Amino acid sequence: MKAALITEKETISFLEFDDPDPELDQVVVDIILCGICGTDIHGFNSTGPMRPSICGHEWTGIVSKVGNKVERIKEGDRVVVAVPPSCGLCVSCQAGQMDKCNTVLEATVAAGRFDTPHGGFAPRIAVNHWRTVIANPRLSDTQAAQIEPTTICFHAVRSTSPKLGDIVVVQGAGPIGLTTLQWARVAGAGILISVEPDPTRREVASSLGADYTVEAGDAAQELINEVTAGLGADVVYECAGVGPALQSAVDLTRRGGTVSLIGFAASDALTKPGEWLRKEINVSASLGYTHEEFEMSMSYVADSKINLNAIHTGTVPLEDIGKAFADLSSSPSGELKILVDPR
């Protein structure tokens, strides 16, 4: 079987792998759909190969084989890629910090016993069974394939939730920003402002609940000054994942407000520490999610509280994955979330 991997900058190669058989604590999943993530695009645009187990980490599929020690998952189950519950044994868990479990972190970054020789850009994959959660039966395959990034946003907003009526800014209107925008609305934000340079993405943000949309830079600062009478936003979610956006998030926040870092910036950021001090900015950062948050996230999507269909802009067969990566890497790209169907 062939799996697609990023082997060097702007290069996707199809490498040959044996059809997997599960180890004792593994399941084999026949991939239905796998999403192309912003992290995949960062890897595609960076020098050198991307770590195989991370390349294609947003998938749903049907369990076709089960290891002899696996009891919680059975053949025929539709699953989504996830993380295990907190282990209760690591130093974080023993210190009472179950939400910072080291075993969960291992699974989040597909390290150690959760590492795999390739990701979900393949017909099937063998993974530790704890990396799977049974998909909510009310979800379509397209929705199920987007639950992993959706849960990232759920975790971020749950960790740094706006108060009822807060003025919230979301920087970036890619899949992560558009989903974060919706979670902020569900959490009770009073006014939602989407900051995004691309006009097409601003239109999508507006359709998903943004009260205002605006370009980045001076226009954003002027709008937020107008809407808040010069005070600034209560919460700014940074989803653009570019270095300069870190300081702009602080610039748009009121004194005593909160900046939540969600987007992964591949480059260093030049900041103004004096401004952070003057404003007494609260800063939080979110990486990953918890096991139970997958169940919560799926329920909200199944109840139509979060619209993922508006973010999904295309599905391509595995052989066309190179073109999909090129499309998503172009600026501006007319695509948001592209799913890969290896069937």
In this structure, the answer to whether residues 275 and 304 fall within a common structural domain is no
Structural domains of the chain, count? 2
Residue 213 has a pLDDT of 98
CATH number for the domain that contains residue 167: 3.40.50.720
State whether 267 and 314 are in the same domain. no
Asked if residue 299 has pLDDT above 80, the reply is yes
In a domain, 155, yes or no: no
* Same domain, yes or no: 146 and 293: yes
Average pLDDT on 138-144 reads 98
pLDDT at 265: 76
Last residue of a domain, one of 259, 285, 311: 285
Q: Is the pLDDT of residue 267 over 80?
A: no
Residue 27 sits in the same domain as residue 141:
yes
Residue 259 lies in a domain: yes
Q: Of the candidates 285, 310, 332, which is a domain's last residue?
A: 285
150, HSE (Cβ side, Cα atoms, 13 Å): 30
Q: Could you tell me the pLDDT band of residue 268, with boundaries at 50, 70 and 90?
A: confident
Please, which pLDDT band fits residue 163 given cuts at 50, 70 and 90? very high
Residue 171 belongs to some domain of the structure = yes
The residue behind tokens 């209560």 is 234
- The verdict on residue 114 lying in a domain is yes
Q: Binning pLDDT at 50, 70 and 90, where does residue 334 land? A: confident
User: Per residue in 42-70, pLDDT tens?
Assistant: 999 999 999 999 999 999 999 999 999 99
In this prediction, residues 10-33 reach a mean pLDDT of 97
The Cα 257–Cα 167 span in angstroms is 10
Helices 147-159 and 175-187: crossing angle in degrees, nearest 10, is 50
Taking 80 as the threshold, does the pLDDT of residue 2 lie above it? Answer: yes
Question: What domain range includes position 200?
Answer: 161-285
Mean pLDDT of the region 159-177: 96
3-class DSSP assignment, residue 229 = coil
Contact 132, 263 (CB under 8 A): no
- 14 — phi, psi (to 5°)? -100, 115
Question: What residues contact 117, with CB distance under 8 A and at least 6 apart?
Answer: 3, 17, 52, 53
* Pair (138, 199) in one structural domain: no
Residue 38 falls within a domain, yes or no?
Answer: yes
pLDDT for the residue 16: 97
308 and 194 housed in the same domain: no
pLDDT, average across residues 166-185: 98
Mean pLDDT (the chain) is 95
If pLDDT is split at 50, 70 and 90, which confidence band does 264 have?
confident
pLDDT for 202-261, tens place per residue?
999 999 999 999 999 999 999 999 999 999 999 999 999 888 888 999 999 999 999 999
pLDDT given at position 332:
76
| Domain shared by 195 and 225, yes or no | yes
The answer to whether residue 288 scores a pLDDT higher than 90 is no
Burial label, 103 (beta-carbon count in 10 A; 0-12, 13-18, 19+): buried
Q: Is residue 40 predicted with pLDDT exceeding 90?
A: yes
Q: For residues 7 and 127, state if they share a domain.
A: yes
Total number of residues shown for the chain: 343
Cβ atoms of 179 and 37 within 8 Å: the answer is no
Q: What is the pTM of this model?
A: 0.95
Residues 215 and 314 in one domain: no
Residues 130, 83 contacting (CB under 8 angstroms): yes
In terms of domains, do 92 and 115 share one? Answer: yes
User: Could you tell me if 22 and 137 lie in one domain?
Assistant: yes
Does residue 6 belong to any structural domain of this protein?
yes
The answer to whether position 243 is within a domain reads yes
* Residue 156 domain-assigned (yes or no): no
Question: Of 285, 301, 324, which closes a domain?
Answer: 285
CB burial readout 227-249, b (16+ within 10 A) else e: bbeeebbbbbbbbbbbeebbbbb
CATH value at residue 125: 3.90.180.10
Q: Do residues 49 and 197 share a domain?
A: no
Residue 308 phi, psi dihedral angles, 5° rounding? -95, -20
